[in-house]
Amino acid sequence: MTAERPPAYLAATRVTAGYDGLPVIKDVSLAVGLAEVVLVMGPNGAGKSTLVKAITGELAVLGGSLTLSGSDITRAREEDRIGAGIGYVPQVRDVFPPLTVQENLEMGGYRLRGADVKGRQDEVFATFPQLAGLRRRQARSLSGGERKMLAIGRALMARPQLLILDEPTANLAPVVARTVLHGIVSSLAQAGRAVLLVEQRVSLGLDVASWGYVLSDGRLILQASCGVLREMEDLGSLFLGRGAGDLTGRAARDADRGVNDDAADSIADERIGGSENAT
Ligand SMILES: Nc1ncnc2c1ncn2[C@@H]1O[C@H](COP(=O)(O)OP(=O)(O)O)[C@@H](O)[C@H]1O
Ligand SMILES: [Mg+2]
């Protein structure tokens, strides 16, 4: 397993950010290259979504800097970052439920000239043929997997070079989660995009990403290639918290016995408390 990485498309250098001027993440440095899937892991409340919001501009950066394709975006407005190449699929409120699939995509293309919207929409339908057949359906009537596909499609309308996915498999059944990560997320990077993936299903996340960062209590505590992280016996306990050793051990033994990864994932999810109560 090589640890060679592409040049940074997004680089965060010692970023500190939080709410009402109070830091939640501190001195976080991370990079994502084109055609690379980078995984951010950590327990609930570690600051993963806060980090993502500092990158997208939803939250002000209190310290440190951000560059995108070499340009400083530390103080750029949220809408300008989207224009500069960042696509963002938030953990919650990822689509407009009362609007149709087509209308949601149009919302994703609101910065485009009217004439361009249709072409971009066709690009999204080419990427996700399943969505084309659903174009007149309200987003609220979609299955979880279809809805996530739409949320990603909506972000793709702006042709982002960097796609940030905050827990895209939260609340999805294990088999659907697998499809989203192995099918969709991998192909986004194979098409040359940089992908920053926040994911609680750690073993699935490690499968599709090549480099991983572990956040704990607002700080980066570990980074390594996913091959190395996968071999780490104590990785689970780093973010499952106290008493998780048994569970990780059980998951590992189950995996040895041939129980599929999803079993291990759902054990981890249970221990973390699922994502229902995530912010
Ligand atoms: N809007 C907010 N205002 C104040 N504190 C917040 C807000 N959102 C999150 N936090 C706090 O920031 C910390 C990190 O949260 P978050 O980034 O959502 O973690 P994660 O995504 O890793 O679960 C938590 O302690 C959380 O309570
Ligand atoms: Mg979160």
**Residues 95-149 pLDDT 10s:** 999 999 999 999 988 777 777 889 999 999 999 999 999 999 999 999 999 999 9
Q: Whose CA is nearest to atom 6 of ligand 1?
A: 19
Q: Is the pLDDT of residue 14 over 60?
A: yes
55 Cα to the center of ligand 1, angstroms: 15
Q: Are strands 162-166 and 86-89 parallel, antiparallel or unpaired?
A: parallel
63-79 average pLDDT score: 96
Number of the ligand closest to the Cα of 51: 1
Of all protein residues, the one whose alpha carbon is nearest to atom 17 of ligand 1 is 47
**Phi, psi dihedrals of residue 14, rounded to the nearest 5°:** 45, 50
CB 60 within 8 A of CB 224: no
Nearest to 78 by CA among 107, 61, 56: 56
Is the Cα torsion angle 261, 199, 276, 95 positive or negative in sign? negative
- Residue 184 is classified by DSSP as I
Beta carbons of 156 and 108 less than 8 angstroms apart: yes
Please report, for the chain, the start and end positions of each structural domain, with discontinuous segments joined by +.
Answer: 1-85+160-233, 94-159
pLDDT, tens digit (0-9, with 9 covering 90-100), for 219-257: 999 999 999 999 887 787 776 553 333 334 334 333 333
Question: Would the pLDDT of 268 be above 50?
Answer: no
The closest residue, in CA terms, to atom 2 on ligand 1 is 19
Pocket of ligand 1 contains residue 278 by CB under 6 Å: yes
Q: Give the confidence band of 17 by pLDDT, cuts at 50, 70, 90.
A: very high
CA distances from 175 to 25, 51, 80, 178, 198 (A): 32, 28, 36, 5, 18
- pLDDT given for residue 265 in this prediction: 43
> pTM to 2 decimals?
0.86
Instruction: Render pLDDT for 154-165 as a digit per residue (tens, 0 to 9).
Output: 999 999 999 999
φ, ψ at 170 (rounded to 5°): -55, 135
Q: State the Cα torsion 224-229-234-236 to the nearest 10°.
A: 110
CATH number of 1-85+160-233: 3.40.50.300
Distance 50 CA to ligand 1 centre (A): 6
Please give the full DSSP string across 103-135, using - where no structure is assigned.
HHHHHHTTTS-HHHHHHHHHHHHHH-HHHHTTT
- CB of 24 closer than 6 A to ligand 1? yes
How far out from the chain centre does Cα 129 lie? 22
- Reduced to 3 states (helix: H, G, I; strand: E, B; else coil), residue 94 is coil
Residue found by looking up tokens 């309200």 in the block? 138
Say yes or no to pLDDT of 42 above 50: yes
Nearest to 102 by CA among 145, 142, 140, 132: 132
Report which bound ligand comes closest to the CA of 44: 1
The 10s digit of each residue's pLDDT in 72-92 is 999 999 989 987 899 999 998
DSSP state of 170: T
SS3 category, 86: strand
